[in-house]
Amino acid sequence: MTGFNKHRIREIKAGKQQRGPVVYWMTRDQRVDDNWSLIHAIQKANETNSPLVVIYALAPTYPGANLRHYDFMLKGLQNTEKVLTNKGITFHLLMGNPPETIPNFLKEVEASVLVSDFTPLSINREWKQSVNEQISIPHLEVDAHNITPCWYASPKLEFGAYTLRPKIRKHLSAFLTDFPEISLKTPKLLTNKPTHWHNTLNWLNPFSHVKPIKWLNPGENEATETLRNFLNQKLTGYATKRNDPTLKWQSDLSAYLHFGQISAQRIAIETMKANAPQEDKQAFLEELIVRRELADNYCYYNPSYSRFSGFPDWAKQTHKIHRFDVREYLYTPQELEHVKTHDPLWNAAQTEMATTGKMHGYMRMYWAKKILEWTTCPEEAMRTAIYLNDKYSLDGRDPNGYAGIAWSIGGVHDRAWPERPIFGKIRYMNYEGCKRKFDVDEYIAQHTHK
Ligand SMILES: Cc1cc2nc3c(=O)[nH]c(=O)nc-3n(C[C@H](O)[C@H](O)[C@H](O)COP(=O)(O)OP(=O)(O)OC[C@H]3O[C@@H](n4cnc5c(N)ncnc54)[C@H](O)[C@@H]3O)c2cc1C
């Protein structure tokens, strides 16, 4: 089945549609293929016989972003521009804060309608609100990131995967469809000024101490290649091997998903078609769909998603009781960042993240829980874990990160466990437990500077 489900779109600013070009403000879904926002923008342009312009507004600073992130993102966007141009679609990179650049651009080109991607994170929502206050044309938001649109899957903050899963299942057949083939039929009215990409990094002048990574190449084609390799080589066995950090049996798709260089819906479609045991497909789709969309639900309906105040009441209560428990080890954020703990397993995990831009999923849980155990209070643990994760992880600054850290430190989407010091009823993890699960020495050897 193909087709555009109208519930994927919502009008976030009413207005009078003018006669000028349709403008698609690309934010979270930085790709040409399998992009519902772009599909809708093309449909709109064709319907009204208007040109289409795709814009990306590059803010001079984005919280937590550094050279590692910009390198990956800008190379991906450069490729996006090339593919769009080949399809006869104009692309503009706007330099400056979106609330300043976008309304001006819309006025300049006399835009008829604005189409944008959905994202639950606060900075992007604030930008959108400010843009909406300054424009009088309609602004349509499309959820091109989630398979079931976030607001449609559930109207409220969910307790956990067990409450969101049935809601998503109910809607999946209506949304998990093939993508329609569609091309722009309208003339290209605006001149395509090629972007001077080499000047862009100079203009941003990002914090350059965190180096770009080399083992994962940015771009839509590379994302598709990574997916193909995963489906051929690692989908079989995913259910049992993904939690062993020494095996590296995950898909490595998170950075591509974060920058929208691949569509989760495409990944799901290809996974379902793949030749692999059903239990492996199920395990992977659970992470890709339920866990990932649960993180969006958390950030969308909980404005305190990155803070202690966002934790469920039972977790706040248990932290209140245990916040003054004596810590055997106490580290400052700087000591943690510079890998100065007594625990070689934690040090290896931090090193893996700092040097490769990705920590194995299983280790992320252990890593964050130890930050709770070794810092003065849960508030500081949250701040430190988010600071480190957003700074070093290529897939950082993502709802998955905020939800994952809040799960580890604040019991979000989890339940109460037997009470113990410091953690209270928050689920505990320790070195001995890891030793029972995988070859800890092997993981340490893999990620210790020789
Ligand atoms: C403390 C902590 C911090 C985390 N920080 C991030 C982060 O910054 N960015 C990020 O994308 N994920 C984060 N996660 C979630 C998860 O660990 C990663 O998505 C996963 O390890 C990425 O690797 P992969 O793509 O190879 O995963 P795979 O196992 O191949 O999974 C495929 C996709 O499913 C989704 N997924 C998998 N596990 C989860 C999960 N637990 N929650 C939500 N979605 C999931 C991701 O989109 C992932 O790319 C964090 C988890 C924890 C516990």
81 lines ligand 1 (CB under 6 A): no
Q: How far is the CA of 31 from the centre of ligand 1 (A)?
A: 20
Q: What is the 77 CA–ligand 1 centroid distance (Å)?
A: 23
d(CA 449, CA 98): 41
431: left (phi over 0), alpha (psi -120 to 50) or beta: alpha
* pLDDT on residue 92: 95
pLDDT digits (tens, 9 = 90+) for 20-31: 999 999 999 999
Q: Is the CB of 389 under 6 A from ligand 1?
A: yes
Evaluated on CA atoms 408, 410, 414, 420, the torsion sign reads: positive
Ligand 1 close to Cβ of residue 235 (< 6 A): no
Q: What's the whole-number average pLDDT of the chain? A: 96
| Beta carbon of 288 within 6 Å of any ligand 1 atom | yes
Q: Which residues of the chain have pLDDT under 50?
A: none
Cβ-based neighbours of 361, under 8 Å, separated by 6 or more: 242, 243, 250
Angle at the Cα of 212 from the Cα atoms of 209 and 216, rounded to 5 degrees: 155
The full set of domains in the chain, from first to last, is 6-145 (3.40.50.620), 152-180+218-301 (1.25.40.80), 308-446 (1.10.579.10)
pTM of the model: 0.98
Residue 193's pLDDT is 73
30 lines ligand 1 (CB under 6 A): no
Q: How many helices (H) and strands (E) does the chain have?
A: 21, 6
pLDDT at 1: 57
User: In angstroms, rounded to a whole number, what is the distance separating the alpha carbons of residues 14 and 12?
Assistant: 7
**pLDDT at residue 187 in the model:** 81
Ligand 1 geometric centre to CA of 98 (Å) = 28
Residue-level pLDDT at 194? 80
Q: Count other C-beta atoms under 10 Å from residue 308's C-beta.
A: 19
Name the closest-CA residue to atom 35, ligand 1: 288
pLDDT tens digit sequence for 20-74: 999 999 999 999 999 999 999 999 999 999 999 999 999 988 888 999 999 999 9
Q: Whose CA is nearest to atom 15 of ligand 1?
A: 400
Q: Is the CB of 34 under 6 A from ligand 1?
A: no
The pLDDT of residue 76: 98
What's residue 190's pLDDT?
63
Query: Does the CB atom of residue 368 touch ligand 1 within 6 A?
Result: yes
Structure-token pair, residue 149: 């649109």
Q: Is the CB of 400 under 6 A from ligand 1?
A: yes
Nearest CA to ligand 1 atom 48: 254
| Minimum CA distance residue for ligand 1 atom 38 | 287
Q: CA-based angle 367:317:425, to the nearest 5? A: 45
The finding on whether 29 has its CB within 6 A of some atom of ligand 1 is no
Say yes or no: CB of residue 384 within 6 Å of ligand 1. Answer: no
Q: From the CA of 142, how far away is ligand 1's center (Å)? A: 23
pLDDT computed for residue 18 by the predictor: 78
- Atom from ligand 1 closest to the CA of residue 238: 29
What pLDDT score does 299 carry? 98
